[in-house]
Amino acid sequence: MKYEAVIGLEIHCELKTKTKIFCGCATAFGAEQNTHVCPVCLGMPGVLPTVNKRVVEFGIKAGLATNCEINKYSKFDRKNYYYPDLPKNWQTSQYDLPIAEHGWVDIDAGGKKKRIRLTRIHMEEDAGKLVHSGTTIKDSSSSNVDYNRTGVPLLEIVSEPDMRSAEEARSYMEKIKSIMEYIDVSNCRMEEGNLRADINVSLRPVGSKELGTRTEMKNINSFKNLEDAINYEIDRQEEVLEDGGHIVQETRTFDPARGITLSMRSKENAHDYRYMPEPDLPPIVTSEETIEKYRSELPELPDARRARLEKEYGLSDYDAGIITSSRAMAEYFDAVVATGADSKLAANWIMGDLAKNLNEDGIDIAKSPVSAERLGKMIGLIMKDTISGKIAKKVFKEMWTNEDDPEKIVKDKGLVQITDTGAIEAAVDAAIAANPKAVEEYKGGKKKAIGALVGQVMKATRGKANPQMVNKMLAEKLAD
């Protein structure tokens, strides 16, 4: 029997507020354990929480950016469960009246566009963090709790089960990350847990409309782990079903070192949490005027920006998609083009040499040692034939560690392109005279033989001759 995967994601997005959702404690990452805590986030008796207004603003903006309906009346609820990192024994979240619901985003996967529906976006507080004495809980003799993260504001973005492959799930999560970065509500640093996903996976026979029994994998915080966990779980469930077994509804964890999922506990349903309205917090009432105010503050979003780059600059759908995948890269591109640089050359350099160097150094584009203005100036030198594309690679490599403008680097290193007809002609004549076999092959119809002659000319001029002039002059002389 052939099976179809049914996948839904619950993405937890940590908001970039300075203080926690219900108290004034700092949210900064990496502080000494249990120093960003107070009686409110520790759940001490008699304390009263207050809602961080910024969290509500970010929730509404996230809803608007993902085409959701904003609920003008929403409320907080208590989600009751026990865990050592949850000091109150409940999580303050939202249940039946979330801040936003019924949205959608479009993704690209497998060369096709697909719309993924959003069930809801709700606000909630994060839990603390267990710190084990060993590398895992199994090889630890003790575990302590760091409550710094307790009360840090989260948005939980819940999708419908509209994805059918790990590729689609990854594309969806990348799209959510991009949108949250564009609207500047989260740093989305996955290595710091700013963005993580709970994955729900089930299988059903192809053609069936009935959903299968699902398993959930918790706290996946990298795109590679997301894909690997889904692919493994699909294979595992298919093997169980093919052997005549039944899938157990449970929560599983993904072990990236071994590339497998492992059972943790049985999976709860909503009624197991005994949701109840939070009595210490008033409902959130939002006016239409406030919603429209927040809508007007949204920046140009990824899809709109992508369409603009295709229309305004003639970029391909693929190139525009890469450039607009992050707000920082899109703004860098716009800044390069603003210097007068050719847009397609700008896109090629950003996706090529710039991206390569950033990846090798492990830094993001905001920290690039080559600013958009300097890259634009270098591209300008290519456009003016001051340097060739090949020489530009040497210039760019020098710019990575040298703060001088590209014009100065080209001058100091003697990299100005040779465009003098007489100088190039002398080198071309010498190459033809020294390579009779290549000349004979070219005239005999082997047109690729001209490459050897071009190489000799470039070698003689130390790569400075204008390649277009060299090719044209050789073709003219060999046609005689």
Q: Is residue 397 part of a domain?
A: yes
Q: Is residue 415 part of a domain?
A: no
Query: Residues 335, 336, 338, 344: is their CA dihedral positive or negative?
Result: negative
142 with 235, same domain: the answer is yes
143 with 276, same domain: the answer is yes
List the domain range (segments joined by +) for residue 472.
Answer: 421-479
355 with 437, same domain: the answer is no
| Digit-coded pLDDT (tens) for 331-385 | 999 999 999 999 999 999 999 999 999 999 999 999 999 999 999 999 999 998 8
109 with 145, same domain: the answer is yes
Query: Which runs of consecutive H residues, i.e. helices, occur in 108-206?
Result: 166-182
Q: How many domains does the chain have?
A: 3
311 with 457, same domain: the answer is no
pTM of the predicted model, to two decimals? 0.84
| Digit-coded pLDDT (tens) for 39-86 | 999 999 999 999 999 999 999 999 999 999 999 999 999 999 888 899
The Cα–Cα gap between 123 and 76 comes to 8
* Lowest-confidence region among 36-50, 400-414, 429-443: 429-443
* Lowest-confidence region among 2-6, 89-93, 260-264, 367-371: 260-264
Q: Where are the beta strands (DSSP E) in 249-368?
A: 250-255, 260-266, 276-277, 284-285
Q: For residue 285, list its beta bridge partners.
A: 73
Among 259, 289, 319, the domain-final residue is: 289
Among 269, 289, 309, the domain-final residue is: 289
40 with 169, same domain: the answer is yes
471 with 393, same domain: the answer is no
| Digit-coded pLDDT (tens) for 172-197 | 999 999 999 999 999 999 988 899 99
CATH code of the domain containing 458: 1.10.10.410
Q: Is residue 413 part of a domain?
A: no
Q: Is residue 160 part of a domain?
A: yes
Helix axes 372-383, 327-338, angle to 10 degrees: 50
397 with 435, same domain: the answer is no
166 with 187, same domain: the answer is yes
190 with 90, same domain: the answer is yes
| Digit-coded pLDDT (tens) for 267-316 | 666 678 899 999 999 999 999 999 999 999 999 999 999 999 999 999 99
What pLDDT sits at residue 270?
Answer: 64
Among 357, 376, 404, the domain-final residue is: 404
The Cα–Cα gap between 438 and 164 comes to 55
458 with 355, same domain: the answer is no
277 with 317, same domain: the answer is no
